[in-house]
């Protein structure tokens, strides 16, 4: 598929806007090519090829914002998009918190974010990778029904602002997922495995297939357990939701305007002394890395939690302006639709000292959580969640999978009650790192 | 446009496809976001493109493009056929579909006031008025937001059966979110209204039945308590009931989940799977947020009875799932946009009313929980385990609602919960307009129920 020129329409929009009586603007256009294969039932079901282009314009006049976007890059559509954004900006009312858009700043390019193997990946390759996942699963145990898929994306974008930012981005990503379902009468064993990365060579489809099958088989024979207060051991696949939720709640406008559970925890001790969380969008070849953020501000590592104490919010220019500080480079642009928010990039939680096996063997009675989301109500911090996949631990051993079990509480209580952080963990997309964590006294609802 | 789409379909057959479908999609929309008395953001956008789906070599292939030209559409066709051929040597089950009689039709849903004829100033004025009432309700209201959105969707389906159907659907939606605060305690209230309708929907909204409700809920939740933990008899209001029906049974009845092993009820057609009081219907012909006349495979939509008097009598179908399960397609396949192929989706899904009043449902419950207002839910359909998060709840003690509760969620097993429905009210309301996510696609749906009672549901909480 021939690539689409996105620079010319951005320049055209910018030229039109620069002649008008407005205060600030930014223009962003993107092109992406996505090939994907879906797995359903007994095997590979369908292949897709998608090409997406679009342009989005934000215009600020008297601190009011007008936004317009179009999936067409034709001259007339670009002009219409610009005119809409301008007319909306003149109707929108002044936002007293808006201070302007960031000035340009140069940064060295983060290497390894565009894998030529993905750029040139064929549908035959995607189909073969999907088949490999299924074959590896079938080698563990035959007869599953499957959900899953494989997707590879090459995308590029170009941002120009009235303050002089003029940056281009180019990135690849790949993801693979397999969920086998085994049935034995009315008993169902189901689980999933996944991986994602910037580079094709990081993904091992056979490992995904094997792990998915092993985990699904382990889920057969699930039983209910009684309500009570027990320790939870969150494996990295579920501890990720705990840490990600904290960083999301510390991000941007909602955080600094006092609208999240984390708005008032800056400088406070929220967890044990050995809890350390760094957000780093500069890791070469990592999934959430980029040279610049969504507003053209260079990415930089940010220590968010040190010795259990919260050190910083994650800012875009808007939230930084409210607090009269510099942006931390955490603006996130939602494609060409024109919305710009803030959020984490690669989240790295420092590993602890104890082996996961030891943490489990030292647990007299508890729940090992393989899959559950601990994302709370972002305003109140309260959560009430189903343990989608978990195991009862008794006498230091996994006894059986659990079902119909819920955990409830406040997310800051979970952090406060972190007892142990494992020394092993899982790296996702060469960027995020999450260890397992043991949390004491979590309220559980069961039979 | 017709010439272009028919040309591509014809070309697809000539190139060896046994089935070819070309779908044009266009969505124009505008929105207004108000925050604490300021109309902060006004926006608009246009999505437009063509999606081509084929069966070639007994495999599915799909390709899409935003560029609506003959050259680009033919390129998408070649890519779609290439997709199908690329997976031939690795394919699982053979792609097959039910052959249906062609439909040729043009549908334009009438509205009293076309949102595109209403100026942005007027939309801003109304949104500000609604937001102001919420913000001024109490000094404990910390923040109030109103978001207005209108979307005009135009879908044209052209396929090798000879179908050529065009449907133009306006949807209007408005939501109000309120954050109330007292010390470190912050709570939210939320209201939304949405339908296949024009701006008349917004003009019909008063602060009393919309933004003031959200504000009152947020403030009253400040003094609500966490729920007790354990297994309880619960009574659900129409919104929680709609969420339960959508998550617990709706997704399980989707034909693609059924034929692919992803449904807990795949082998239970004709069997009793729910109490006698349970009749569940998915009806795209009701004018709700999930309303349409033709699905995105060009099949005319009809009401679908999923469960009748406790017996599983049908599934929701696409052309494919109908072929694989030996049934007739009755219009349940929809796609988010031209970038996605149609998949089986719910529309307006509801529990049919019974004959009890809320008081009668509550009266013999000694200790239970009344659940009100839906936030979100999800289901692991293959296991039949669902979770529903609700906005607020009350303890039921000796048939009366007593202590106000917040942050409540329920979890259950579909097949147990359906059998444990022990009372159904007569006050059916379908008022849960929202977007349902499935397989990476988001789709307009609605859901509802009368008040009803379920025994033995796990309630999550902190006490």
Over the stretch A186-203, which tens digit does the pLDDT of each residue have? 899 999 999 999 999 999
Let me know if residue A298 belongs to a domain. no
Looking at the structure, tell me whether residues A49 and A122 fall in a common domain. Answer: yes
- Which CATH number is A129's domain given? 3.30.2290.10
Interface residue B461 vs chain A (CB under 8 A):
yes
Last residue of a domain, one of A150, A183, A217: A217
Task: Write out pLDDT tens, residues A406-440.
Answer: 999 999 999 999 999 999 999 999 999 999 999 99
Nearest CB neighbour to A44, from listed B45, B90, B406: B90
Pick from A217, A250, A285: which residue ends a domain? Answer: A217
Q: What is the pLDDT of residues B268-291, one digit of tens each?
A: 999 999 999 999 999 999 999 999
A106 and A233 housed in the same domain: no
For residue A265, tell me if it sits in a domain.
Answer: no
Identify whether A59 is part of a domain. yes
On whether any CB of chain A is under 8 Å from the CB of B382, the answer is yes
pLDDT at A337: 87
From chain A residues 379-408, the ones with a CB under 8 A of any chain B CB are: 379-380, 382-386, 388, 403-408
Spell A278-306 as b/e; 16+ CB within 10 A means b: bbbbbbebbbbbbbbbbbbbbbebbebbe
Do residue A175 and residue A231 come from a single domain?
no
A242 touching B, CB under 8 A?
no
> Average pLDDT in the A298-314 region?
98
Computed over every residue of chain B, the mean pLDDT equals 94
Q: Which domains does chain B have, with CATH numbers?
A: 2-221 (3.30.2290.10), 230-460 (no CATH)
- Cross-chain Cβ contact B339/A1 below 8 Å: no
Please give the Cα distance from A362 to A393 (Å, whole number): 10
Note whether residue A326 is domain-resident: no
Please list, in sequence order, all residues whose beta carbon lies within 8 angstroms of the beta carbon of residue B284, skipping any fewer than 6 positions away: B290, B291, B292, B293, B295, B301, B302, B303, B331, B332, B347, B348
Residues 193-222 in B contacting A (C-alpha not used; CB under 8 Å): none
What is the structure's pLDDT at A243?
98
Q: Give the residue, B384 or B108, on which the prediction is more confident.
A: B108
Give A2's pLDDT tier (boundaries 50, 70, 90).
Answer: low
Average pLDDT over residues B287-301: 96
Using pLDDT thresholds of 50, 70 and 90, give the confidence band for residue B377.
confident
Give the confidence band of B92 by pLDDT, cuts at 50, 70, 90: confident
A111 and A175 together in one domain: yes
pLDDT of res. A447 = 86
Mean pLDDT, residues A285-289 taken together: 97
Q: pLDDT tens for residues A315-334?
A: 999 999 999 999 999 999 98
Q: What is the mean pLDDT of residues A352-380?
A: 95
Shared-domain flag, residues A236 and A209? no
Whether A333 is in a domain gets the answer no
pLDDT band at A288 (very low <50, low <70, confident <90, very high): very high
Backbone angles phi, psi at B436, to 5 degrees: -105, 135
Q: What SS3 state is found at B258?
A: helix
DSSP per position, B163-209 = -EEEEEEEEEEEEEEEEEEETTEEEEEEEEEEEE--THHHHT--STT
Same-domain status, A201 and A232: no
Do residue A158 and residue A66 come from a single domain? Answer: yes
User: Does residue B56 register a pLDDT over 90?
Assistant: yes
Is A407 inside any structural domain? yes
* Structural domain range at position A14: 7-217
Q: Does B325 touch chain A (CB under 8 A)?
A: no
Q: Would you state the pLDDT for residue A193?
A: 97
DSSP H or E stretch at residue B414: helix B414-419
| Contact check, Cβ <8 Å, B79/A1 | yes
Q: Which of B97, B144, B260 to mutate to test the interface with A (most CBs of A within 10 A)?
A: B260
Tell whether A231 and A82 lie within a shared domain. Answer: no
Instruction: Judge if A185 and A233 occupy the same domain.
Output: no
pLDDT at A137 over 80: yes
B183-229 per-position pLDDT tens digit: 989 999 999 999 999 999 999 999 999 999 999 999 999 999 988 88
Residue B267 is given by DSSP the state: T
User: A169 and A105: one domain?
Assistant: yes
Query: What tens digit of pLDDT does each residue of A4-39 get?
Result: 899 999 999 999 999 999 999 999 999 999 999 999
| pLDDT for the residue A140 | 97
pLDDT in tens, B394-441: 999 999 999 999 989 998 999 999 999 999 999 999 999 999 999 889
Mean pLDDT confidence for B51-74: 93
Which residues between 253 and 282 in chain B have a beta carbon less than 8 angstroms from any beta carbon of chain A?
256, 259-262, 264
> Which pLDDT score, from 0 to 100, does residue B156 have?
98
- CB contact under 8 Å between A384 and B83, yes or no, is no
What tokens were used for B180? 């109330």
Q: Based on the domain organization, do A231 and A120 belong to the same domain?
A: no
- Distance (Å) of CA A57 to CA A86, B61, B68, B83, B174: 9, 34, 22, 34, 24
- Do A14 and A101 have their domain in common? yes
Mean pLDDT, chain A, integer: 95
Q: What SS3 string covers chain A?
A: CCCCCCHHHHHHHHHHHHCCCCCEEEEEEEEEEEEEEEEEECEEEEEEEEEEEEEEEEEEECCEEEEEEECCCCHHHHHHHHHHHHHHHHHCCCCCCCCCCCCCCCCCCCCCCCCHHHHCCCHHHHHHHHHHHHHHHHHHCCCCEEEEEEEEEEEEEEEEECCCCEEEEEEEEEEEEEEEEEEECCEEEECCEEEEECCHHHCCHHHHHHHHHHHHHHCCCCECCCCEEEEEEECHHHHHHHHHHHHHHCEHHHHHCCCCCCCCCCCCECCCCCCCEEECCCCCCCCCCCCECCCCCECCCEEEEECCEECCCECCHHHHHHHCCCCCCCEEECHHHCCEEECCCCEEECCCCECHHHHHHCCCEEEEEEECCCCCCCCCCEEEEECCEEEEEECCEEEEEECCCEEEEEHHHHHHCEEEEEEEEEEECCCEEEEEEEEEEEEEECC
What is the C-alpha to C-alpha distance for residues A177 and B439, in angstroms, rounded to an integer?
A: 12
Residue A11 lies in a domain: yes
Number of separate domains in chain A: 2
Q: What tokens does B20 get?
A: 């070819």
Per-residue pLDDT averaged across A133-152, rounded?
A: 95
What is the percentage of chain B residues whose pLDDT exceeds 90?
87
Last residue of a domain, one of A183, A217, A251: A217
Asked, for residue A315, whether it belongs to a domain, the answer is no
């Amino acid at each position: 598929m021939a690539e689409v020129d996105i620079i010319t329409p951005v320049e055209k929009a910018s030229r039109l806007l620069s002649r008008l009586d407005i205060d600030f603007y930014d223009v962003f256009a993107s092109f992406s090519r996505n090939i994907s294969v879906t797995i359903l039932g007994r095997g590979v079901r369908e292949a897709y090829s998608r090409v997406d282009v679009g342009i989005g314009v934000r215009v600020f006049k008297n601190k009011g914002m007008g936004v317009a976007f179009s999936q067409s890059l034709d001259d007339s559509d670009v002009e219409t998009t610009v005119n809409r954004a301008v007319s909306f900006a003149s109707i929108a009312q002044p936002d007293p918190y808006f201070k302007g858009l960031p000035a340009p700043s140069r940064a060295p390019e983060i290497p390894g974010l565009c894998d030529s193997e993905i750029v040139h990946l064929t549908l035959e390759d995607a189909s073969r990778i999907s088949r490999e996942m299924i074959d590896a699963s079938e080698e563990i145990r035959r007869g599953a029904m499957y959900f899953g898929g494989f997707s590879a994306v090459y995308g590029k974008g170009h941002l120009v602002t009235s303050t002089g930012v003029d940056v281009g981005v180019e990135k690849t990503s790949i993801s693979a997922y397999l969920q086998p379902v085994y049935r034995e009468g009315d008993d169902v064993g189901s689980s999933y495995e996944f991986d994602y990365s910037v580079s094709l060579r990081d993904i091992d489809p056979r490992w995904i297939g094997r792990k998915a099958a092993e985990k699904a088989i382990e889920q057969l024979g699930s039983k209910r357990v009684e309500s009570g207060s027990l320790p939870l051991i969150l494996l990295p696949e579920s501890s990720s939701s705990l840490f990600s939720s904290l960083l999301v709640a510390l991000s941007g406008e909602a955080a600094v305007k006092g609208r999240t559970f984390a708005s008032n925890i800056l400088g406070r001790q929220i967890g044990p002394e050995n809890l350390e969380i760094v957000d780093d969008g500069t890791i070469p070849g990592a999934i959430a890395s980029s040279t610049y953020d969504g507003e053209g501000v260079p990415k930089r590592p940010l220590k968010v939690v040190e010795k259990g104490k919260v050190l910083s919010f994650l800012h875009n220019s808007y939230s930084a302006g409210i607090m009269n500080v510099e942006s931390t480079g955490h603006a996130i642009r939602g494609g060409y639709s024109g919305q710009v928010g803030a959020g984490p990039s690669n989240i790295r939680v420092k590993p602890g000292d104890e082996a996961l096996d030891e943490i489990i063997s030292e647990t007299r009675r508890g729940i090992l959580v393989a899959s559950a989301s601990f994302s709370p109500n972002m305003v109140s911090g309260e959560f009430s969640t189903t343990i989608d996949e978990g195991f009862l631990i008794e006498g230091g051993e996994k006894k059986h999978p659990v079902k119909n079990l819920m955990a409830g509480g406040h997310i800051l209580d979970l952090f406060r009650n972190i007892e142990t952080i494992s020394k092993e963990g899982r790296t996702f997309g060469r960027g995020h790192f999450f260890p397992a964590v043991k949390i004491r006294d979590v309220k559980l609802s069961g039979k | 446009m017709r010439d272009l789409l028919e040309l591509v379909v014809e070309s697809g057959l000539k190139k060896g496809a046994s089935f070819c479908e070309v779908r044009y999609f266009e969505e124009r929309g505008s929105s207004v976001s108000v925050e604490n008395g300021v109309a902060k953001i006004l926006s608009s956008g246009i999505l437009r493109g063509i999606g081509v789906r084929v069966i070639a070599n007994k495999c599915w292939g799909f390709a899409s493009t935003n560029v609506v030209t003959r050259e680009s559409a033919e390129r998408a066709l070649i890519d779609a056929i290439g997709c199908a051929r690329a997976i031939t040597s690795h394919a699982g089950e053979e792609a097959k579909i039910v052959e249906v009689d062609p439909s040729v039709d043009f549908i334009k849903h009438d509205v009293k006031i076309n949102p595109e004829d209403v100026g942005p100033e007027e939309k801003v004025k109304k949104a500000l008025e609604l937001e102001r009432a919420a913000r001024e309700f109490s000094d404990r209201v910390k923040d109030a937001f109103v978001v207005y959105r209108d979307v005009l969707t135009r879908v044209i389906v052209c396929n090798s059966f000879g179908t050529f159907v065009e449907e133009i659907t306006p949807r209007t939606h408005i939501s109000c979110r309120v954050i109330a605060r007292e010390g470190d305690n912050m709570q939210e209230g939320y209201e939304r209204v949405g339908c296949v309708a024009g701006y008349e929907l917004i003009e019909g909204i008063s602060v009393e039945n919309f933004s003031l409700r959200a504000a009152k809920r947020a403030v009253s939740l400040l003094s609500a308590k966490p729920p007790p933990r354990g297994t309880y008899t619960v009574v659900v209001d129409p919104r929680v009931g709609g969420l339960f029906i959508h998550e617990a049974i709706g997704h399980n009845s989707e034909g693609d989940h059924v034929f692919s092993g992803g449904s807990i009820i795949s082998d239970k057609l004709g069997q009793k799977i729910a109490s006698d009081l349970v009749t569940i219907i998915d009806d795209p012909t009701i004018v709700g947020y999930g309303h349409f006349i033709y699905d995105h495979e060009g099949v005319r939509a009809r009401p679908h009875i999923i469960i009748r008097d406790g017996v599983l009598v049908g599934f929701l179908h696409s052309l494919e799932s109908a072929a694989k399960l030996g049934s007739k397609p009755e219009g349940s396949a929809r796609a988010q946009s031209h970038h996605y192929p149609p998949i089986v989706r719910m529309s307006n899904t509801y529990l049919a009313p019974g004959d009890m009043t809320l008081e009668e449902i509550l009266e013999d419950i000694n200790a239970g929980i009344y659940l009100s207002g839906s936030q979100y839910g999800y289901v692991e359909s293959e296991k039949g385990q669902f979770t529903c998060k609700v906005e607020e709840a009350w303890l039921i003690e000796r048939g009366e609602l007593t202590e106000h509760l917040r942050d409540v969620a329920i979890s259950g097993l579909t097949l147990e919960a359906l059998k444990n429905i022990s009372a159904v009210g007569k006050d059916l309301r379908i008022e849960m307009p929202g977007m349902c996510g499935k397989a990476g696609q988001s789709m307009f749906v609605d859901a509802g129920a009368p008040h009803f009672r379920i025994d033995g549901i796990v309630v999550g909480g902190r006490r």
